[in-house]
Amino acid sequence: MSNFHVTESGKTLVTLIPGDGVGPEVVDSTIRIIEATGAPIEWEERHAGERVFLEGQASGVRQDTIDSIRKTRVVMKGPLGTPIGYGEKSANVTLRKLFETYGNIRPAREYPGVKTPYSGRGIDLVVVRENVEDLYAGIEYMLTPGVAQGLKLISRKGTEKIVRLAFELARAEGRESVVAMSKANIMKMTEGTLKSVFEEVSLEYDDIESWHVIVDNAAHQLVKLPEQYSVLVTTNMNGDILSDLSSALIGGLGFAPSANIGNEVFIAEAVHGSAPKYTGKDVINPTAMILSGVMMLRHLDMFEEAALIENAVITTLEEGKVMTRDVVGDERQGGTTGYTNEIIKNLGKKPTDWKIREYKPIKLPQLGAAPDFVKVKTRQVCGVDIFIESASDKISIGESMERICEGRDLYLKMVDSRGTMLYPPNDVMTDTVDAWRARFMLRDDAAELNDAQLIDLLQAVAAEHMWAHVEKLQRFDGADGFTKAQGED
């Protein structure tokens, strides 16, 4: 756990980012409740999001905000808007990447007084989502004017961190199972990394039940029988989708707290957006932000204050005297302020029909800083894929590549379009586009393709075709580090 910044007054300093739209309202609600518990916290207000984009800062994050986070290591952040048409990446994503908050923790638990089609089912789960890599690395290219490509980056190191975090969270919260959810049946190397690492690491946690589910079946099961799950661990994009699905089961994003957690920095944030049309109307539900604050307090080892707030929130919902407009539309509607006041009034009370969970500190995984996390004994470059742009047909392209191989140590293994092999000629009926991949392999399977051979080949291809990019085909410890096209032997 990080070393927190303690002020001269003996309080823990927290970077406070009010956010955009309704952000300042839900953040103010949370601050009032935290301060009412007497939690020894001092706030350092900084800014990110829309106002910073408008200042001309393309990242949406000011330098003084970054400096504050480096100092405090703990952030409470309201929702940030991502303007369309200016700025670059989302300020939320920028913050996660800058501070390696590799885990996104999203609890979804049934709340009293919040009626849903699942009321009474006892939903109580947590989605643990990898937070910085996968397709969210944001590495995209236009291969041709009509074909886009995105790189899905999954590292062994990043995967092991998120898997260990999931198991450690289960232990910290007294949970009995962890389930991995992946698309390893299709993406055997990227999504498959999650499955294989999960199965390996799970052996160290024999006190916790574990199993793997294909992610589309997982979504089906979450809707059909969500109470079977406790901790779910998954890759970035899958986790983004499944965590939103999970929050819908228990009342929506107004009840969806979250934490972005890393070994150095912790960022508490509500999942919902900035909802600008409700700004200043005192109607927004602050529960998600309040419970995100509860997660922050636990991270700060302030478990007593966290329990006070969680019990007060549940008591308020259980009593149902004052609620927000998204839950009720009658005289019990008290708005953001009235609901907050009711929670403060209920501090010290415990709900009558709610299982109070005992929390312990989460033991964060420590895997070391070495970039070359996976070591191999042997490696071999055995071929190369060259991606080209062409409006020609598969036969013409294939025959051209065959001619290019004449007199060289390489042969043409296949040509594909959109992952389906079309050359050597076959009877596959598929619509082609102008992005093609030609796979060349060394004639001597035990030989090594050197850069001079590769450049010579690329120049020969370039004389006849417009090439877009190149991928070396490598074997690590004798295992292919590349997949085959559909139909390739």
Annotated catalytic residues are 136, 183, 216, 240
Residue 20: CB atoms within 10 A of its CB come to: 27
Pair 470, 181: CB distance under 8 Å: no
* Dihedral sign for Cα atoms in the order 459, 465, 471, 474: negative
| CB count in 10 Å sphere of residue 285 | 27
Q: Tokens in use for 465?
A: 């075709």
Helices and strands counted in the chain (H then E): 13, 18
Task: Map tokens 């080892």 to a residue.
Answer: 301
Angle, helices 23-36/287-299, rounded to nearest 10 degrees: 50
What phi, psi does 304 have (nearest 5°)? -65, -45
Using alpha carbons, select from 31, 14, 16, 17 the residue that is nearest to residue 73.
14
Residue type for position 227: E
What kind and span of H or E run contains 395?
A: helix 394-405
Determine what percent of the chain falls in helix, strand and coil, rounding each to the nearest 5: 35, 25, 40
Cα dihedral 166, 172, 174, 176 in deg (nearest 10): 20
- E strands in 168-293: 177-182, 209-214, 231-234, 257-261, 266-270
156 vs 137: CA distance, rounded Å: 15
Token pair belonging to 21: 């739209």
Q: Which of 142, 92, 401, 141 is nearest to 268 (CA)?
A: 92
Strands 140-144 and 124-130: unpaired
* DSSP state, residue 9: T
317, amino acid identity: L
Pairing of strands 124-130, 147-150: unpaired
For residue 119 the two structure tokens come to 């009321």
- What crossing angle do the helices spanning 394-405 and 451-462 adopt, rounded to 10°? 140
Is residue 165 a contact partner of residue 365, using CB atoms and an 8 Å limit?
Answer: yes
Angle of CA points 109, 94, 54, to nearest 5°: 110
Identify which of 417, 415, 412 has the alpha carbon closest to the alpha carbon of residue 441.
Answer: 412
- DSSP calls for 337-359: HHHHHHHHHTTT---SS--PPP-
